A and B are shown apart, each in its own frame.
Chain A
Amino acid sequence: MVDAVIPRGPKPRPRFSRTNIMLYGTLIVVAAYYALPLYVMIVTSLKGMPEIRIGNIFAPPVEVTYQPWVKAWSEACTGINCEGLSRGFWNSVQILIPSVILSIAIASVNGYALANWKFKGSEVFFTILIVGAFIPYQVMLYPLVIILREMGLYGNIWGLVLVHTIFGMPILTLLFRNYFTSVPEELFKAARVDGAGFWGIYFRIMLPMSLPIFVVAIILQVTGIWNDFLFGVIYTKPADYPMTVQLNNIVNSVQGVKEYNVNMAATLLTGLVPLIIYFASGKLFVRGIAAGAVKG
């Protein structure tokens, strides 16, 4: 009877074949695992403390309250200081904006020089820069303290901006160099024949056509600098601590009763900026980290 069927058209495949069940089953279970912490953070931040003490961390809130968010933003304490995370947020913004602008401006011009205006030794410095990216920061932390102190920048926001510019340089320079190298050389030659110089070509030809790579660089830097903890804790004073450092101090503060809902609201608030960038930028974020992964 089965033989009577004449094969024709697409091969009949069960909609739920064993392979497909395995495939989607695995993906869904793993996706649930990855999504779980974010879910737990959100539901915890919306519950009152009594509900958290008796309940289950996975259960959705019975009574939704936004009080923990308000408290995390404007009242949470680090030690004796009870201004909430808002101060850390504005500190981070103040650190972020100049750091992103400065690091990208320097690295893009740098990458451009390396791609189109090579000079004797330029490749050597570039190689040192890339190899330097693998040196543990710990080795360079103290010398930088000395350098910043000599410049009078130790302990203030501009010192930290400089540190972010320095440590962002290898990856950003690589990113821009590779991008500018991929620009057809004829274009560059034509501009030179037309009499344009180093800066003329950079501003009038390279910059306008490299918007996407600037967006990638901005994504990379904003998330990287916002998420930084180490440099913030070492190169700034408590009054200037970025949000991540302040968050850690609030949550891991040993004084007082632990308010898990406030802690989770504070954690989410800190994670919000990179998360928004991540969900809004989609493919560009992926491109940014893929670019970060390419080897020198």
Chain B
Amino acid sequence: MTSVLVKDLTLKFGALTVLDNLNIDIPEGEFLVLLGASGCGKSTLLNCIAGLLDVTDGEIHINDRNVTWEEPSGRGIGMVFQSYALYPQMTVEGNLSFGLKNARMAKAEIKQRVARAAEILQIEPLLHRKPAALSGGQRQRVAIGRALVRDVDVFLFDEPLSNLDAKLRADLRVEIKRLHHNLKNTMIYVTHDQVEAMTLADRIAIMKGGIIQQLDTPTEIYNRPRNKYVAGFIGSPEINFFEGEVEQGTFATGGERFSLEGYAFQGAATAGAAWLGIRPEHIVSGGSAKDLPVTAEVTVDIVEPMGSDTLAWATLAGVPLRIRMDGQAAVSTGDRILIGFDPARASLFDKTTEERL
């Protein structure tokens, strides 16, 4: 069953098109992450779904109801903001119950809902404190609680973890995932952090310039990026790109010629100018490299040991190459090493359209 449906959504501010004819169908219980660099329109899209922004064209349906003209409070959504947006002069309990009281809900019902939310989020001891007396993580929990008490089917998160430090962010990420697992609500989550996106999402929508570049599962996006932008955006360290020509089952670049044996083309294999992308972690070095379809010998320029793994920089076909190695790899600047990769794990993009081949 569809939970949230975005249909032909366009938003313009004057001459500026912020969202361009978007279509998204979000099934019930899905965790969808809107991912993109700042200014890509992801928060704007979320605000349109919430009803905080008037759309220029298109429709928004929530739970099979056309809510395009509904007020945010009438859409059956709860929302969590980056700055928490807690009412600073009210206690935690006041924050949770303010909207319900305003909707003239029975006192007993309010009490029950607040108690339930507090229990789920483990904030019962904090109920009588004011937001100023809470830590960042606790404030974010209260903000989630405010969405929770509304007893709605759809939760909207607008970069909820961006204001927290790295450790707390990792902890709360797991909690949000657990929350989703327990509640099974539909959740739409905006972030610019690809780790958050990859770990939380059932599906990710990568946006750029008001257009969804790819809407897929994290695995699919990582392994089979639909275009060059997505390939470059996802993955850290960044994917390596080679500019060259596809000709007769090979990729020619800067004097090198890579075999494309095993690469699954989208359609028929076509010749022409293209980009080849291969992720640093898909480049194999050492003994096992020599059995791969593509091999080369390179000189290590720089080594960046990071504990869990090591990033080596070399030059191949005239472009800098990142190679991700084991953390214990014995490699140092100036070493000649043999590397190789499997073309099946690489991605090819058309030179002009930058679409996947």
Contact = CB atoms under 8 A, between A and B. Distances in A.
B59 A7 contact: yes
Contacts of B26: none
B59 A10 contact: no
A10 B66 contact: no
B16 to A, nearest CB: 16
Interface in A1-22: 6-12
Contacts of A8: 57-59, 68
A8 B55 CA distance: 9
B56 to A, nearest CB: 6
A233 to B, nearest CB: 47
Contacts of B58: 8-9
Nearest to B71: A11
Q: Binding site of A, secondary structure by majority: helix, strand, loop or mixed?
A: loop
Contacts of A12: 69
A7 B66 contact: yes
Nearest to A6: B66
A10 B10 CA distance: 10
Interface residues of A, number: 7
B54 interface: yes
Nearest to A11: B69
A11 B66 contact: no
Interface in B47-96: 54-59, 66-69
B61 to A, nearest CB: 10
A10 B55 CA distance: 5
Nearest to A10: B54
A290 to B, nearest CB: 23
Interface string B130-159: 000000000000000000000000000000
B56 A6 contact: no
Nearest to A9: B57
Nearest to B67: A7
A22 to B, nearest CB: 19
A62 to B, nearest CB: 47
A11 B57 contact: no
Contacts of A10: 54-56
A78 to B, nearest CB: 56
B54 A11 contact: yes
A11 B71 CA distance: 10
Nearest to B66: A7
B197 to A, nearest CB: 30
Nearest to B68: A7
A262 B59 CA distance: 66
B122 to A, nearest CB: 39
A10 B54 CA distance: 5
A193 to B, nearest CB: 31
Contacts of B68: 7-9, 11
Contacts of B54: 10-11
Nearest to B51: A11
Interface string A95-124: 000000000000000000000000000000
Contacts of A7: 59, 66-69
A230 B195 CA distance: 67
A12 B69 CA distance: 8
Contacts of A9: 55-58, 68
A275 B312 CA distance: 68
A236 to B, nearest CB: 51
A24 B66 CA distance: 32
A8 B56 CA distance: 9
B273 to A, nearest CB: 41
A7 B59 CA distance: 7
A10 B70 CA distance: 11
A9 B9 CA distance: 8
Nearest to B61: A7
A11 B59 CA distance: 11
A6 B69 CA distance: 10
Nearest to A8: B59
B48 to A, nearest CB: 11
A11 B67 CA distance: 10
A10 B59 CA distance: 9
A6 B54 CA distance: 16
Contacts of B57: 8-9
A40 to B, nearest CB: 40
A6 B55 contact: no
Interface string B276-289: 00000000000000
A13 to B, nearest CB: 9
Given A6-B59, A9-B57, A10-B56, 20 more contacts: A6-B66, A7-B59, A7-B66, A7-B67, A7-B68, A7-B69, A8-B57, A8-B58, A8-B59, A8-B68, A9-B55, A9-B56, A9-B58, A9-B68, A10-B54, A10-B55, A11-B54, A11-B68, A11-B69, A12-B69
Interface of A: 6-12
12 contacts: A7-B59, A7-B66, A7-B67, A7-B68, A8-B59, A9-B55, A9-B57, A10-B54, A10-B56, A11-B68, A11-B69, A12-B69
- Shortest beta-carbon contacts, A-B, top 4: A7-B68, A11-B69, A7-B69, A10-B54
